[in-house]
Amino acid sequence: MDSALTQVLLPIALGIVMLGLGLGLAVADFRRVVVFPKAVLVALACQVLLLPVVCFGLVLALDLPPVLAVGMMLLAASPGGTTANLYSHLFGGNVALNVTLTAVNSVLAVFTLPIVVNLSLDHFLDGTDQVGLQFDKVVQVFAIVLVPVALGMLVRARRRAFAERMHRPVRILSVVVLVLVIAGAIIQERENLADSFERAGLAALLFNLVSLAVGYFAPRLAKVGRPESVAAAMEVGIHNGTLAIVIATTLLDSTEIAIPAAVYSLIMFFTAAGFGYLIHPRTAAEDPAPAGTLNTPPPH
């Protein structure tokens, strides 16, 4: 994975993804926290606090090699991906809530991700094999995550009609670029692909299933509506694996740390679809969206 694909093209692809996210965001999406306060708080608590703890217990239980354990913790600290919006829409989730969670979580990740990664490096690698995310690299995380989003939001604020026209093409472009880059990486690493799945496949699969379950059932236990719980499940269960891979291969200079995120990124599309299929019939039949609840993002 250590090539122009991951060092150059993948960061560019991530930038396009985050730019596309920004083109679809407005300040109102952050203000919408007050519309779904319980759902937002429960989902963010699961994403930011609970999942790293669950992941830590999982890697200890599976006795993963230290480098892969760090990779799993990096994945757990990564925010939800924009693909969660699509899956939420397909399976009856509240897409407006997804947009809000992605926006807020992307900002929080700038602060929480370096903390989790550095603590993981200290614990699993004794802080000796990796330098970690020091201040200059934290600034790079900020640039990778928020600068493209802020640029997209600025374009939307200044040229809303243009942003709305470009939002869909940019999202399609981001998917195409990501698919091409990932396909290229798979072809290049085809000889090591089976080994990667053997080393990290079980951990990635279990963590994905736990993430989806926690994201759905924690809000349900808190008496959050079913559409909002579906949205939370997709947001918590579909991590931004691309971000984790970029941080691992560029800022941490380790392709091994990127293995769990790469495997997870391939697995999650199938597990999220299966999970969505399982909960979708009950969503429609038993618990329609409450009056006044939006299932698509309102016009900004």
Domain limits, the chain: 4-284
Alpha-carbon distance of 68 to 159, in angstroms, equals: 44
- Which pLDDT score, from 0 to 100, does residue 192 have? 66
Please say whether the beta carbons of 267 and 205 come within 8 A.
yes
300 CA to centre of own chain:
24
- Which pLDDT score, from 0 to 100, does residue 293 have? 45
From the CB of residue 287, how many other CB atoms can be counted at a distance below 10 Å?
Answer: 15
Please say whether the beta carbons of 148 and 25 come within 8 A.
no
Please say whether the beta carbons of 81 and 105 come within 8 A.
no
Class (C level, CATH) for 4-284: mainly alpha
- Alpha-carbon distances of 211 from 155, 162, 218, 221, 237, rounded to whole Å: 34, 36, 10, 15, 5
For residue 287, give both structure tokens: 């618990």
For residue 273, give both structure tokens: 């679809």
Three-state DSSP state, 78: coil
For residue 236, give both structure tokens: 């918590």
Nearest to 167, CA basis, from 49, 47, 16:
16
- Which pLDDT score, from 0 to 100, does residue 159 have? 85
- Which pLDDT score, from 0 to 100, does residue 299 have? 44
Q: List the chain pLDDT tens, one digit each, 300 residues.
A: 445 555 566 677 777 777 877 787 777 777 777 888 899 999 999 999 999 999 999 999 999 999 999 999 999 999 887 778 778 888 888 888 888 888 888 888 888 998 999 899 999 987 555 556 666 666 777 777 778 888 888 888 888 888 888 877 877 777 676 667 666 666 666 666 677 788 888 999 999 999 999 999 999 999 999 999 999 999 999 988 888 888 888 888 888 888 898 889 888 889 999 999 998 754 344 454 443 344 444 444
- Which pLDDT score, from 0 to 100, does residue 298 have? 45
Q: What is the dihedral of CA 172, 176, 181, 184, to 10 degrees?
A: 170
Alpha helix segments (H runs only) across 91-225:
95-125, 135-158, 160-188, 190-221
- Which pLDDT score, from 0 to 100, does residue 129 have? 52
Please say whether the beta carbons of 250 and 9 come within 8 A.
no
**Measured CA angle at 146 (ends 86, 210), to 5 deg:** 45
Tokens 């090539």 belong to which residue?
3
Instruction: Determine the length of the chain.
Output: 300
Tokens 């080393």 belong to which residue?
199
